[in-house]
Chain A
Amino acid sequence: MINGLKRTGDLEWEVPIGFIEGMRVPGRFFLSENLTATLEEGAVTQLANVATMPGIIRHSLAMPDIHWGYGFPIGGVAAFDYDTGVISPGGVGFDINCGVRLLTTPLTINDITKKKEILDQLYDAVPVGVGARSSLRLSPKQLDEMMIHGSTWAVEEGFGTKEDVAHCEEGGSMKGADPSHVSQKARSRGVPQSGTLGAGNHFLEIQVASEICDPEAAKVFGVEAGQICIMVHCGSRGLGHQVCTDHLQILERAVDKYHISLPDRQLACAPLTSPEGRAYFGGMAASANYAWANRQVITHQIRNVLAKCCGIGYDDIKLVYDVAHNVAKIEEHVVDGKLTKVCVHRKGATRAFGPGCPDVPHDYSKIGQPVIIPGSMGSSSYLLKGTDEAMMRTFGSTCHGAGRILSRSQAKKTIKGSQVRESLGREGIMVKAPHDGAIAEEAPGAYKSSSEVVSVVDRLGISRLVVRFEPLGVIKG
């Protein structure tokens, strides 16, 4: 283990104040013995850097999928006091509301006899990869509506059902979205990319529910053993990327104005209540809504393909839930025994609200919020449920995925995309991607074990296992 860190529990480690100069609170991260070898010094330094930011409450946190990113580490969570704290694009990332959704179908594995045809048609229906363009032609007014109303806009435009909206974090429409803080450049990037999957680690996957770990919760979430499900991972595309870029530049110039000292320029921030902080929040929320609408449009494309290929009804495909991985939210959490208004940054982390929390959909209220954790290509994905423990320990947060262990260049040097495709094919997993490099970069060997990561959050109790899924077919962006 890296020098200077303190073990504080079976699965818990502390980065003490003083690890780097200026820390206001300790850092805390969660890892099993098996995962300690994957911890990078760069990620720990980034966790400590976050602890220097004004108004941070209790700890700078990182989930077991922690890895080296920019600004915050990936897997990072930090809550800032609303009155004295800051908001930072470096705690959200360029891909605002990069997130994942899970759909169920009435199909079982025996019904998927034409898997190649289904994948081919999905690949044609959902634009993927660099340079892919949307078939939507959004007017400026439609784009504004999309940014204000998110999933609700998409459903009203015919891209889904009313039930979909209720099954999204924030109801698929974050309050406080302000399109006036989304630049013309961001709009120009966003219009041709609405309803596109993107590239990199974004994917669309056909899965089978292979193990039910919590029958009661699975039943409430509408998932049965052997059921065919679809998982979609993508974000706010060029619109969100440009909003981050624009506001990062504004906040970089505002740091001196507010006399903030930072160890990393990517952590540029401003007080939550300042004009610059409010402007970023408005633009970020607009981008988050764009992302929810984007995933809704892709869901519509998937429903049309499955209805045509498998002879099932459009409405037979249900949205279990949709979670954001990269976002800053105004929430209320108990701090020192008092309900306190805070801004929780989750960068590569998932909200995991427990039973009875007001933002958990009514039909899931007794169980807790569904938490969707994708594995790497070819490995298991999971559905979990949020818990009271997460509310107490991690500001209602848990991990977001497997977490990388190999750089993309190392992955491409050591792993051949064509071999990964063939090897997964032998396991019955079909892969489609614009090029083999995209497969090599995202190969299973480039990631931590998703099973090990979710076992840590399950053992900690910050979310609990409900269903395990195995991949059958993957479209990589």
Chain B
Amino acid sequence: MPYEEREHTADILMHVWAQDIPTLFEECGHALMAVMYQGSARPDCTYSFTVTGIDHEQILQAFLSELLCLTETENVVFSEIAVSLNEGGLTARLSGEPFDRKIHGGGSEVKGISFSGLSISRQNDEYVLDILFDV
């Protein structure tokens, strides 16, 4: 897993790394799903959406916020996440299966995606960031 939880007193701080920006965003999406749900999900149903922003941090926050809204309103746990960046935004394609408490229950409810401390940087050959989920 190219992400790990770091210490934060009130909320969940995730450290995420990847070779390129689209993969970094996809891993952030997987990290969000891992906080919220347990177990695995079949890629039975598919969704897509686009978001915009003025920089990578704003686009990422918008992407994860949209993913959070979608998982909650559609009641779907996403297991496959593909991101393609374009001018001023991204398109995300996601697959998953409906939430089943017996399979996916036991995670934490995420309230929102914070900008606090969010900064994408390049370290050696990787892109890295810390992102805070309010729980």
Interface residues of A (CB under 8 A from B): 40, 42-43, 67-71, 74, 90, 93-95, 129-131, 185, 188-189, 198-200, 238, 241-242, 244-245, 248-249, 252-253, 264-266, 268, 404-410, 434-435, 437-438, 441, 477
Known: A238-B72, A248-B115, A437-B106. A70 touches B5 (CB 8 A): no
Query: What 10 new A-B contacts, CB under 8 Å, besides A70-B11, A70-B115, A438-B108?
Result: A70-B114, A130-B108, A189-B69, A199-B108, A238-B73, A241-B134, A264-B116, A265-B118, A408-B11, A477-B109
Q: Is the CB of B116 within 8 A of A266?
A: yes
22 A-B contacts (beta carbon < 8 Å): A40-B9, A68-B8, A70-B10, A70-B11, A70-B115, A90-B116, A130-B108, A189-B72, A238-B73, A241-B111, A241-B134, A244-B111, A244-B112, A245-B68, A265-B118, A404-B9, A407-B8, A408-B11, A409-B12, A434-B101, A435-B105, A437-B106
Q: Is the CB of A130 within 8 A of B36?
A: yes
Nearest CB in chain B: distance from A181 CB, A: 17
Nearest CB in chain A: distance from B115 CB, A: 4
Cβ–Cβ < 8 Å partners of B132 in chain A = 70
Q: Is the CB of A409 within 8 A of B72?
A: no
Q: Is the CB of B115 within 8 A of A69?
A: no
Known: A131-B99, A238-B72. A249 touches B109 (CB 8 A): no
| B87 proximal to A (CB < 8 A) | no
Cβ–Cβ < 8 Å partners of A129 in chain B = 101, 105, 109
Task: Give the interface centre of A199, A245, A404, A405 by most chain B CB atoms within 10 Å.
Answer: A245
| B50 proximal to A (CB < 8 A) | no
Q: Give the top 8 A-B pairs by smallest Cβ distance, nearest first.
A: A94-B112, A199-B109, A70-B116, A265-B115, A94-B111, A70-B114, A266-B116, A435-B106
CA distance A43 to B9 in the complex (A): 10
| B107 proximal to A (CB < 8 A) | yes
| B97 proximal to A (CB < 8 A) | no
CA distance A408 to B9 in the complex (A): 7
Cβ–Cβ < 8 Å partners of B75 in chain A = 131
CA distance A34 to B11 in the complex (A): 24
Known: A71-B116, A242-B69. A130 touches B109 (CB 8 A): yes
Cβ–Cβ < 8 Å partners of B112 in chain A = 94, 241, 244-245, 248
Cβ–Cβ < 8 Å partners of B24 in chain A = none
Nearest CB in chain B: distance from A39 CB, A: 11
CA distance A264 to B57 in the complex (A): 13
Cβ–Cβ < 8 Å partners of B57 in chain A = 265
Q: Is the CB of A408 within 8 A of B116?
A: no
Cβ–Cβ < 8 Å partners of B7 in chain A = 407, 409-410
Interface residues on B, range: 35 or more
B42-70 CB contact bits vs A (8 Å, 1 = yes)? 00000000000010011001100100110
Cβ–Cβ < 8 Å partners of B65 in chain A = 245, 249
Cβ–Cβ < 8 Å partners of A265 in chain B = 57, 115-116, 118
Nearest CB in chain B: distance from A434 CB, A: 6
Q: Is the CB of B115 within 8 A of A266?
A: yes
| B113 proximal to A (CB < 8 A) | yes
Cβ–Cβ < 8 Å partners of B12 in chain A = 408-409
Nearest CB in chain A: distance from B8 CB, A: 5
Nearest CB in chain A: distance from B98 CB, A: 10
CB-based nearest B residue for A435: B106
Interface residues of B (CB under 8 A from A): 5, 7-12, 36-37, 54, 57-58, 61-62, 65, 68-69, 72-73, 75, 99, 101, 104-109, 111-118, 132, 134-135
Cβ–Cβ < 8 Å partners of B134 in chain A = 70, 93-95, 241
Cβ–Cβ < 8 Å partners of A199 in chain B = 108-109, 135
Known: A265-B116, A265-B118. A95 touches B111 (CB 8 A): yes
Known: A131-B99, A131-B105, A242-B69. A264 touches B11 (CB 8 A): no
CB-based nearest A residue for B4: A409
Cβ–Cβ < 8 Å partners of A95 in chain B = 111, 134
Q: Is the CB of B69 within 8 A of A264?
A: no
CB-based nearest B residue for A129: B105
Task: Give the interface centre of B57, B111, B114 by most chain A CB atoms within 10 Å.
Answer: B111
Task: Give the interface centre of A130, A268, A434 by most chain B CB atoms within 10 Å.
Answer: A130
Q: Is the CB of A200 within 8 A of B114?
A: no
Q: Is the CB of B135 within 8 A of A268?
A: no
CA distance A188 to B66 in the complex (A): 13
Nearest CB in chain B: distance from A35 CB, A: 14
